[in-house]
Amino acid sequence: MTTRREHRPGWIFTATAVAALATVLTVAGAPSPASASVPRTAQRWASLMFHSLTPTPQYVQLRKTLAAQRASLVTWSERIGTGRTAHAAAQSALTTAITADEATRTQYAIAREALASARNRLTLASQQRPRNAAAVAAAKTVVTATAKTTAARRGQAGRAAAALKAAQTASRTATTRLDGAIAAWQRTSAAIRTNQQRLIELDKSAELAGQAAAISRNVVTDVRSRFVVADTTSVNGVTVHKSVSFAFRRMLADAKADGVVLSGGGFRTKQRQIELRKINGCPDVWKAPASSCRVPTAIPGQSLHELGLAVDITSGGRSLTANSAGFRWLSANASKYGYVNLPSEPWHWSITGG
């Protein structure tokens, strides 16, 4: 499927979960002709799948930590973007302030030189004999005007210097903030990589499911040798062996969460298997191979349906086909719950693939 949530084991040990496992692993009541205890291999399979699908508290906490770190990484990424914009603006303002400071300082220097020259001319005019009152008055006027211009240039230079100082401070602040955001992003990214690796190391689900798969054929052998109907239970209307009920229930729930509603037919009696052999036109009910029937049907006593260890899965009331959404979902996920497909029958899933 193109979109589905990741089915990491949902795993938290609680009193309810442990009680549920106890129910899965033990047939109620003392063993008798009408009730047998679940074989140890089946109990082992159920335990392995339970722990495969139930993460440790450390795993759960690390997932929460990673989620918080990923959210933090997004925040730091946004701050880096904002910081770069602010830094670019601060640098542009600093460049403008430097240019303005240089220009006003130059203008102030020129004005001071002009004022010095005007004062020198006034001195010369004042010392000239005979005294030329008009020349002195004119020189004074120039000095006054030049002094006024110089004062204005001094004010402009002072304001430009203050603006430059502010721009320098703003630039340093923007640089510090940007550098800080980048450093925080790098630290958070490194922490995520470390925790992702730790999460992989803590995730034993595939290993445990693999161990369960390795003993699945022994489970079939041992269950067949002592099976009674009391060893089965109903999961969402599908009757299965108690040892697989937890994993099967989780599989249906996780599929539903992905928008794929699954059901099907699980346990059936040997008598019903005989009837199906006849209905499906098997040449010989007891001897003809399953492939000789119109619809492949196992010889009575050999079907995993008779043990509740196989399910013919349906979706929307129809058997799965190789092109169905249900089959695609199961192909991608069923092994995590201990189920394997019989290649010739897209609808048939069991703990061995048989």
Q: What is the mean pLDDT of residues 120-133?
A: 93
Among 31-45, 99-113, 213-227, name the one with the lowest average pLDDT. 31-45
Residue 72 confidence (pLDDT) above 50: yes
Q: What is the DSSP string of 185-196?
A: HHHHHHHHHHHH
Q: Which of 20-24, 120-124, 200-204 has the lowest mean pLDDT?
A: 20-24
How many C-beta atoms lie closer than 10 Å to residue 166's C-beta? 13
Q: Using only C-alpha atoms, what is the Rg of the chain? A: 43
Confidence of residue 296 (pLDDT cuts 50, 70, 90): confident
The whole-number pLDDT of residue 13 equals 38
Whole-number mean pLDDT of the chain? 90
* pTM for this predicted structure: 0.70
The string of pLDDT tens digits covering residues 154-170 is: 999 999 999 999 999 99
Q: Give, in order, the Cα–Cα distances in Å from 57 to each of 64, 69, 207, 258, 336.
A: 11, 18, 18, 25, 20
User: For residue 73, what are its two tokens?
Assistant: 């990484």
Dig out the tokens for 92 from the structure.
């542009």
Query: What is the reported pLDDT for 34?
Result: 37
CA distance 324 to 315: 9
Give the range among 28-42, 81-95, 193-207, 229-243 with minimum mean pLDDT: 28-42
Angle between helices 325-333 and 242-257 (to 10 degrees): 120
Whole-number pLDDT of residue 38: 84
For the segment 3-19, the average pLDDT, to the nearest whole number, is 41
Q: What is the pLDDT of residue 7?
A: 46
Mean pLDDT, residues 279-289 taken together: 92
- Counting every residue written for the chain, the total comes to 354
Is the predicted pLDDT of residue 282 greater than 80, yes or no?
yes
Helix axes 205-214, 216-226, angle to 10 degrees: 50
Provide φ and ψ at 167, rounded to 5°. -65, -40
Residue 19 confidence class, pLDDT cut points 50, 70, 90: very low
| Contact indicator for 121, 61 with CB cutoff of 8 Å | no
* Per-residue pLDDT, 206: 94
Cβ pair 327, 346 in contact under 8 A: yes
pLDDT band, very low/low/confident/very high, at 20 (cuts 50, 70, 90): very low
d(CA 86, CA 63) in angstroms, rounded, equals 34
The reported pLDDT for the residue numbered 267 is 96
pLDDT at 64 over 60: yes
Question: What Cα–Cα distance (Å) separates residue 97 from each residue in 11, 100, 151, 176, 267?
Answer: 61, 5, 21, 20, 84
* For the chain, counts of helices (H) and of strands (E): 9, 7
Percent of residues in the chain assigned helix, strand, coil, to nearest 5: 65, 10, 25
319 has pLDDT over 80: yes
Report H helices in 215-266: 216-226, 242-257
Asked if residue 28 has pLDDT above 80, the reply is no
| Lowest mean pLDDT segment, chosen from 3-7, 97-101, 159-163, 245-249 | 3-7
pLDDT greater than 80 at residue 293? yes
Any idea what the Cα angle at residue 351 is, between residues 350 and 354, rounded to 5°?
55
Q: Residue 295: its pLDDT value, please?
A: 86
Percent of the chain with pLDDT over 90: 86
Q: What are the φ/ψ torsions at residue 314 (nearest 5 degrees)?
A: -120, 165
- Mean pLDDT for 201-222 is 96
